[in-house]
Chain A
Amino acid sequence: MADIKAQTSANAALAADTWTLGGKEFSSRFILGSGKFRLDVVKAAVEDAGAQIVTLAVRRANTNQEDSILDSIPEGVTLLPNTSGARTAEEAVRIARLARELGCGDFVKVEVIRDARYLLPDNAETVRATDMLASEGFTVLPYMYPDLNVARDLVSAGAAAVMPLGAPIGSNRGLVTRDFIRILIEEIDLPVIVDAGIGRPSQACEAMEMGAAAVMANTAVATAGNIPLMARAFGDAVRAGRAGFLAGPGRVLDGMGEASSPLTGFLEEEAR
């Protein structure tokens, strides 16, 4: 039957759809932040979202506390420690090294922020930090303001992906920088991971439909009324958006319907 055949082909397309970072292969394209959670719900959120990568602040993991954030992240999940708290490239490097010492692996999300109010990333310092960390063998994922020239510099500096912000961290305002992220997706050959500002599953879905490689969220899930349910909603939305992108969306018409060949219909078929 045609329907079953089509469905099988859709399943095969999704199953084959993996992506790679630092030599590791992932099938989930939803990255969960852990910063604003109660520890007892982190595990549930990771599992319900189907996340394979979880970010955590090194500064938060820098504790002797018995029930630390590190213990609450399920095994098998790849940790993506971030350098939040760094104000310069050098500070980011020191925090990344500490992450290694704490046993968080070689992945690092570079955050260099000199702005306490909106937590906007310092792109210039981020490029410098990426360069230094890549040369130390880290798999570097820089959090950045979506600027094409900076993204190209990050590629040259050895980034494994770029992580443009959709809106200020924690704002839940969605894809405010949509048009600029679209440019990065078109122009940059590395995975583009939309990070920060995603407030609703529908916004995560839209980012994936645009062709983002993955979406990251924290506040939107952590501050939901039902955290595991919201985690699941994000996981589903990211999968749906990805499937939509892979399927190749049909054209969207600006105005009314259109004739099939309004301008070129006058041409007559020429005799051979």
Chain B
Amino acid sequence: MSAAGEKVVAAAPAQAAEFEAVPVGKRCRRILSMDEEAMNRAIHTDFGLDPMTFLPDMDVLDNGMFDRVLDAVEAYDPGAVTAADVRRVLDADVVEPADFGVLVAPAAAPFLEEMAERARAERVRWFGTNIQFFTPLYLANYCENRCVYCGFNCESGIHRARLNEEQTIAELDAIAATGQEEILLLTGEDPVTSDVDYIARACELAAERFKNVGIEVYPANVADYARLREAGADFVTVFQETYDPSRYAKLHVRGRKRIMPYRFEAQERALKGGMRGVAFAPLLGLSEFRHDALACALHAYYVSRAYPHAEISFSCPRLRPAPGAVTPNGPHVTEAQLLQVICAYRIFMPFAGITVSSRESARFRDHVATITATKVSAGVSTGIGEHTHQEEEGDDQFEIDDSRTLAQMCKAMRGMGLEPVMNDHVLV
């Protein structure tokens, strides 16, 4: 390990020999200073950024968590897990972090029914029969990143749009009229077109109409999260996509998102900025899903240890086809494997919220809600301006499977013995 303050040189082509950087932990670096023009050139060039090097304007926490999670994932060998290991872990009262990998290994697949039983018992103990609803509102689909699997990526020829204030109000009102009380505001990741001021204003407008406002936008610095918290948002979702560094670098070609550890530390920065809770997720199917599930579980676990007051949540997306995006040749994740991962999250962190995406089928979501999930979206549209069918619609980020309205979802959930809850939150 390099001594603190030792100078190293950034490795990426656009930065090589140009900018001095200091080490951050075992794997990362931070560029000390860089003129704005050079930084913008690097951001907007394919492979222009080094995935492990923070830019000078990025907050750096440097607390070892990134290395700790990646070390554990590197040491993980799912094939080495035996049925006896699974038995031992399922017989224990508490699942240790070192044992999470056992629950998502192939050897645990034959135990899926037993895992589901235990997950359901924990779900009922912590959340009763309550099921919460929310709807995402896509504010803008401009994006500076080039992520090869995503419909919003900057090279895809989709229709771009950003709601103005009047359109935002119309969309919020249309959603509120359906009875929703929780909203998740999303943007593509373009901090210029959708700057913090723009998002903060949308949060204010949303907070006037909804009891509960979450955001899923580009990773930001602590001060920006504090600003958005002040504007009325108090829950932050950031998908890490994959925790495999080499895969991450291949899939995220351009834009600030390419810098993996900055994304990794987003949840902690959000909590430091005063947010009540944070959500974590790999996009399963981008890389080895067992490794990604383990990394995500450990990431959430270590954050919960460092911020014991924080509300922790998992999202469980699988890769789905999107217009303008290339589907990578990652291994397909089956429904049974997805359920195994979701049950493992519940057994490992029984108190955590779990959200199941509308990418999944109605049949899958209805059943998973009774076993382990605590929150589902309803009345979902992933395009821009679609709740009011405004003229200048932007294209969708991905294809959804479950397009049921809120009323239909409530009825279905009651049919499964669950109690629909529109809000379980007071913003304080």
| CA A172 to CA B304, docked complex, whole Å | 23
Contact digits for B303-315, partner A, Cβ 8 Å, 1 yes 0 no = 0100011111000
Q: Which A7-50 residues have C-beta < 8 A from chain B?
A: 35-39
Among B36-44, B45-53, B193-201, B419-427, the stretch that binds chain A is B419-427
Q: Are A116 and B423 neighbours in the complex by a CB distance under 8 Å?
A: no
Contact digits for A52-81, partner B, Cβ 8 Å, 1 yes 0 no = 000001111011110000000000000000
Q: Are B426 and A170 neighbours in the complex by a CB distance under 8 Å?
A: no
Asked whether A91 is an interface residue with its Cβ less than 8 Å from the other chain, the reply is yes
Q: Are B124 and A59 neighbours in the complex by a CB distance under 8 Å?
A: no
Among B57-65, B109-117, B125-133, B291-299, the stretch that binds chain A is B125-133
Asked whether B19 is an interface residue with its Cβ less than 8 Å from the other chain, the reply is no
Q: Are B426 and A116 neighbours in the complex by a CB distance under 8 Å?
A: no
Residues of A within 8 A of B420 (CB): 65
Q: Are A85 and B425 neighbours in the complex by a CB distance under 8 Å?
A: yes
In the complex where A35-B128, A116-B311, A117-B351 touch, is A57 in contact with B424 (Cβ < 8 A)?
yes
Asked whether A114 is an interface residue with its Cβ less than 8 Å from the other chain, the reply is yes
Residues of B within 8 A of A38 (CB): 128-129, 417-419
**Interchain CB contact (< 8 A) of A116 among B124, B181, B351, B417:** B351
Closest to B422 in A: A65
Residues of A within 8 A of B125 (CB): 170-172, 219, 223
Closest to B312 in A: A116
Q: Are A114 and B421 neighbours in the complex by a CB distance under 8 Å?
A: no
Asked whether B428 is an interface residue with its Cβ less than 8 Å from the other chain, the reply is yes
State the Cβ distance, A224 to closest chain B Cβ, in Å: 10
Q: Which label, helix, strand, loop or mixed, suits the secondary structure of the B interface?
A: loop
Q: Which B180-200 residues have C-beta < 8 A from chain A?
A: 181
Residues of B within 8 A of A39 (CB): 419
Taking residues whose C-beta sits less than 8 angstroms from the other chain, chain B's interface range is: 20 to 34
Asked whether A98 is an interface residue with its Cβ less than 8 Å from the other chain, the reply is yes
Closest to A172 in B: B125
Asked whether A214 is an interface residue with its Cβ less than 8 Å from the other chain, the reply is no
In the complex where A36-B129, A36-B130 touch, is A115 in contact with B419 (Cβ < 8 A)?
no
State the Cβ distance, B360 to closest chain A Cβ, in Å: 24
Contact digits for A64-107, partner B, Cβ 8 Å, 1 yes 0 no = 11000000000000000000011100110011001000000000
Asked whether A198 is an interface residue with its Cβ less than 8 Å from the other chain, the reply is no
Contact digits for A140-179, partner B, Cβ 8 Å, 1 yes 0 no = 0000000000000000000000000000001110000000
| CA A16 to CA B127, docked complex, whole Å | 38
| CA A57 to CA B426, docked complex, whole Å | 10
Residues of A within 8 A of B422 (CB): 63-65
**Interchain CB contact (< 8 A) of A36 among B127, B211, B310:** B127
Asked whether B328 is an interface residue with its Cβ less than 8 Å from the other chain, the reply is no
Residues of B within 8 A of A37 (CB): 128-129, 419
Q: Which A172-190 residues have C-beta < 8 A from chain B?
A: 172
Q: Are B124 and A223 neighbours in the complex by a CB distance under 8 Å?
A: yes
State the Cβ distance, A181 to closest chain B Cβ, in Å: 22
Asked whether B13 is an interface residue with its Cβ less than 8 Å from the other chain, the reply is no
Residues of A within 8 A of B127 (CB): 36
Q: Are B130 and A65 neighbours in the complex by a CB distance under 8 Å?
A: no
**Interchain CB contact (< 8 A) of B211 among A62, A113, A119, A219:** A62
Asked whether A222 is an interface residue with its Cβ less than 8 Å from the other chain, the reply is yes
| CA A86 to CA B276, docked complex, whole Å | 10
| CA A60 to CA B420, docked complex, whole Å | 11
Q: Are A116 and B128 neighbours in the complex by a CB distance under 8 Å?
A: no
| CA A219 to CA B125, docked complex, whole Å | 7
Residues of B within 8 A of A171 (CB): 125
| CA A37 to CA B421, docked complex, whole Å | 11
Q: Are B309 and A116 neighbours in the complex by a CB distance under 8 Å?
A: yes
Q: Are A98 and B426 neighbours in the complex by a CB distance under 8 Å?
A: yes
Q: Are B311 and A62 neighbours in the complex by a CB distance under 8 Å?
A: no
| CA A96 to CA B191, docked complex, whole Å | 39
Residues of B within 8 A of A58 (CB): 426
Asked whether B179 is an interface residue with its Cβ less than 8 Å from the other chain, the reply is yes
| CA A247 to CA B421, docked complex, whole Å | 45
Q: Are A65 and B179 neighbours in the complex by a CB distance under 8 Å?
A: yes
In the complex where A36-B130, A38-B417, A65-B423 touch, is A115 in contact with B428 (Cβ < 8 A)?
no
| CA A171 to CA B94, docked complex, whole Å | 13
Q: Which B115-155 residues have C-beta < 8 A from chain A?
A: 124-130
Q: Are B419 and A116 neighbours in the complex by a CB distance under 8 Å?
A: no
Q: Are A62 and B426 neighbours in the complex by a CB distance under 8 Å?
A: yes
| CA A239 to CA B312, docked complex, whole Å | 40
State the Cβ distance, B123 to closest chain A Cβ, in Å: 10
Q: Are B181 and A60 neighbours in the complex by a CB distance under 8 Å?
A: no
Beyond A59-B423, A65-B181, A116-B308, 9 additional contacts (C-beta under 8 Å) are: A36-B128, A37-B419, A64-B181, A85-B425, A87-B309, A94-B428, A116-B311, A117-B308, A222-B129
**8 tightest Cβ-Cβ pairs between the two chains A and B:** A36-B128, A91-B428, A114-B309, A38-B419, A59-B426, A63-B423, A65-B422, A115-B308
**A positions within 8 Å CB-CB of B:** 35-39, 57-60, 62-65, 85-87, 90-91, 94-95, 98, 113-117, 119, 170-172, 219, 222-223
Interface CB pairs A-B, < 8 A, 10 = A36-B128, A37-B129, A63-B181, A63-B421, A65-B179, A87-B309, A98-B426, A117-B304, A170-B126, A223-B125
